[in-house]
Structure 1
């Protein structure tokens, strides 16, 4: 599988897990990622947890801004479930989304935490099973 590197977007979401909610957070994240694996447009989803500091880091790779919009339409109930157990501390966008997606990110999480955008300089995407 190949994808155009100039449209690729990588999101990094840092979440503070609510004290006493670690198990519920894990269940909600697992359910959301399982749904994304079956139905979502993401090329990659990985979530990592620092249990001592009650922090979680989620990485999502999208082909382009249209894929992000599709994700938002499909995953809203799962996102709400996850957010019952955490708050977003930081949200980073690597790549250059279109104006609509950039505004959606800012309005969705920017009111509660810092959002930063990092323009792409260079890179490539190599996915399992892709031809070199």
Structure 2
């Protein structure tokens, strides 16, 4: 399946894992991602851990701003569990969220980390028609 949707949003969240919390973070992020796989509106979620630097990078792909709002309504308990083991260092939004989502991201991030919002220049999305693990 190939789609082209100007509303699509890609979030990249860079988190500093708290010293001594690597295994707790791994468990919490695995539970959060599994919940998103089963119930969330995301088109894709991938999390990567750089153990040497104690950083985690999470990527989430959303169809549009409505999907981001649905994610926030569903996922808050899981996000809170993950945040017990890390702090956000950088949050990047690729695409153009609507004004409400942009304001909510700015408010949530506050002054705790760096935030960038980068509008799309060009692109497309292609997904296999089968189910992915």
TM-score range, shorter chain: over 0.9
The question of 1:125 aligning with 2:125 is answered yes
TM-score (norm 1): 0.95
Contact 1:4/1:63 (CA < 8 Å) preserved in 2?
no
User: Residues of 2 paired with 1:58 and 1:116: CA distance?
Assistant: 15
Question: Once the 2 structures are TM-superposed, how far is the Cα of residue 2 of structure 1 from its aligned partner?
Answer: 4.9
User: Residues of 1 paired with 2:22 and 2:91: CA distance?
Assistant: 20
1:11 aligns with: 11
Larger displacement relative to structure 2 (67-76 or 3-12) = 3-12
User: Residues of 2 paired with 1:2 and 1:42: CA distance?
Assistant: 16
1:64 aligns with: 64
User: Residues of 1 paired with 2:19 and 2:119: CA distance?
Assistant: 35
Question: Once the 2 structures are TM-superposed, how far is the Cα of residue 5 of structure 1 from its aligned partner?
Answer: 2.2
Structure 2: segments with no counterpart, 5+ residues: none
Q: Extract structure 1 runs of 4+ deviating beyond 2 A.
A: 1-5
